[in-house]
Homo-oligomer: A and B are copies of this chain.
Amino acid sequence: MHNKDFLYLRIAGIIKQQIVNNTLLPGDKLPSLRTICREYGVSQNTALNAYFWLERRMLIETRPKSGYYVRYAHIRIPAIPDVTRPSGIADYGYNELLVSKVYKNLGEDTYAQLSLGTPANELLPVAKLNKGLIQATRELQGSGVTYDKVEGNERLRRQIARWAFTMQGSLSKDDIITTSGCLNAISYCMMAVTERGDTVAMESPVSFGMLQLAKVLDLKVMELPTHPQTGVDLNALEDALKSNRVKAFLLISNFSNPLGSCMPDEHKKAAVLLAEKYHVPLIENDLNGDVYFGQYRPKSCKTYDTNGMVLWCSSVSKTLAPGYRVGWVAAGKFSERVIRMKLYHSISSTSITQEVIAGFLETGRYENHLRKLRHTLHGNLLNYLRAVADYFPEGTMASRPQGGFVLWIELPKSMNTMDLYEKAVARKISFAPGRIFTLQNQYHNCMRLNYGLSWNDRIEANLKFLGNLAKVKV
């Protein structure tokens, strides 16, 4: 059954990719079903399923008695925003106020949670995880009741090392330390490599969790210009490191939050070289790397790390089981310090949930799940982009994420998304205003939308409502 699933999705994925690449242009006629059957050696049914899938995602359309065509609507995708130009003074207080305002309704089911950066619950394989849990009570010594080792579950660490294909075999289980999610990994890394009052450099805009963590650790944040497609501006990064003020830098290398940017391989390599040259540790947040929409998983900065200057952090919280609190770090030459942080702050991680995730990785269930998740999310993204083009005001720009869960929207300069937020939330629609992703006085006309939801008419209506709100002159 999985094999069948895989076939039609693979075919749909290839065509989708060609549409996104502009290899297939709007209005182009697609191969007939018979051609698909012959070319791929599949049944008529499989070919039909592939086309259904593309149709449901509004990438293609049927014309009666003529065949399948790439949809015209697809050309109405908004332009990509320019590189960001952060500057000015930092203000933790205002940021914190906004964040708590935006997320106070987090738990309420009645809200349309466009403000989140995680997949909706219905996209998670709950039944299979429950099975895994029961199995883990049988297989794990002490059924997970007893303390785990401080470095974490051995089976899980081996699987993480094995799974990190893009590391090209350079990681072993001894490099991995498990944590209670990715934020927890980053927290230990930050504590391991910085001291109070130090400055850390980050992309801008950046996930507000990073800003909050920096705040409680009493760190200053230097926000760096960042491109929505290629991530941090390397020249600006080098200037920052050269100044000798930066004690660590933090990059979301793949499908960043909130921009959705993905650093090209050469950029990753260059960032690692800068870390070595200036001897400043690079904390890499690679939380979303597995949720790619292209053919291959993008590499990590860690792939190019020969001197142990990269602390590579990730988790399954955004893809598989948020509530399991399973994350990890390969901390290079800072491993000893990070282990000590984990030990002294929490002794060890939850035993049983680590074992379940280990099983998911080992048996390929994780990869099966990811395959479907990626296709769903990519389809969603294309729908969001189309809806933004259809409903948002002239001049609206949108990032073009190649993976992950979030889309960055830039409205015309005159708009203020905090005002929009007030009006949207009155209608139980919640999104993330741009201002919460910076400590500076900027991104007022921006917003982040979560497309990790199951696409339906309600979402379409909500995006339309948001677009109309944005069209009203203040």
* A interface with B by C-beta (< 8 Å): 107, 118, 121, 124, 126, 129-130, 133-134, 137, 142-149, 180-181, 183-184, 187, 191, 195-196, 209, 212-213, 215-216, 218, 317, 321-325, 340-341, 343-353
Contacts and interface: CB of A to CB of B under 8 A. Distances in A.
14 contacts: A129-B145, A130-B137, A133-B134, A145-B321, A147-B323, A180-B346, A181-B346, A183-B346, A191-B216, A209-B347, A213-B344, A317-B347, A323-B351, A350-B350
A125 to B, nearest CB: 8
A419 to B, nearest CB: 26
B148 A346 contact: no
A181 B184 CA distance: 15
A145 B345 contact: no
Contact of A146 (B147, B323, B345, B351): B323
A401 to B, nearest CB: 22
A322 B183 contact: no
B323 A148 contact: yes
Given A121-B142, A148-B323, A346 B187 contact: yes
B323 A209 contact: no
Contacts of A187: 344-346
A396 to B, nearest CB: 31
A323 B345 contact: no
B347 A350 contact: no
Contacts of A130: 137, 143
A133 B352 contact: yes
A183 B345 contact: yes
Which of A126, A142, A323 has the largest count of B CB atoms less than 10 A from its CB?
A: A323
Nearest to A353: B350
A216 B148 contact: no
Contacts of A353: 350, 352-353
Contacts of A322: 145-147
Contacts of A351: 323-324
A183 B145 contact: no
A398 to B, nearest CB: 27
Nearest to A321: B145
A134 B191 CA distance: 37
A344 B215 CA distance: 9
Contact of A180 (B107, B216, B350): B350
A180 B324 CA distance: 12
A144 B325 CA distance: 10
A96 to B, nearest CB: 9
A353 B145 CA distance: 10
Contacts of A142: 121, 126, 323
Contacts of A344: 183, 187, 209, 212-213, 215-216
B124 A213 contact: no
Contact of A149 (B107, B121, B143, B215): B107
A-B pairs with lowest CB-CB distance, top 6: A323-B351, A350-B350, A184-B346, A130-B137, A147-B322, A187-B345
A80 to B, nearest CB: 31
Contacts of A145: 121, 124, 126, 129, 321-324
A317 B130 CA distance: 24
Contacts of A346: 180-181, 183-184, 187, 325
A209 B348 CA distance: 13
A216 B323 contact: no
Contact of A216 (B144, B341, B348): B341
Given A121-B142, A352-B353, 18 more contacts: A133-B134, A134-B134, A144-B323, A145-B322, A147-B323, A148-B323, A184-B346, A196-B196, A212-B340, A212-B344, A215-B344, A216-B340, A216-B345, A324-B351, A324-B352, A325-B349, A350-B350, A350-B353
Contacts of A107: 149
Contact of A181 (B121, B133, B181, B347): B347
B147 A137 contact: no
B196 A218 contact: yes
B143 A129 contact: yes
Contacts of A325: 180, 346-350
Nearest to A183: B347
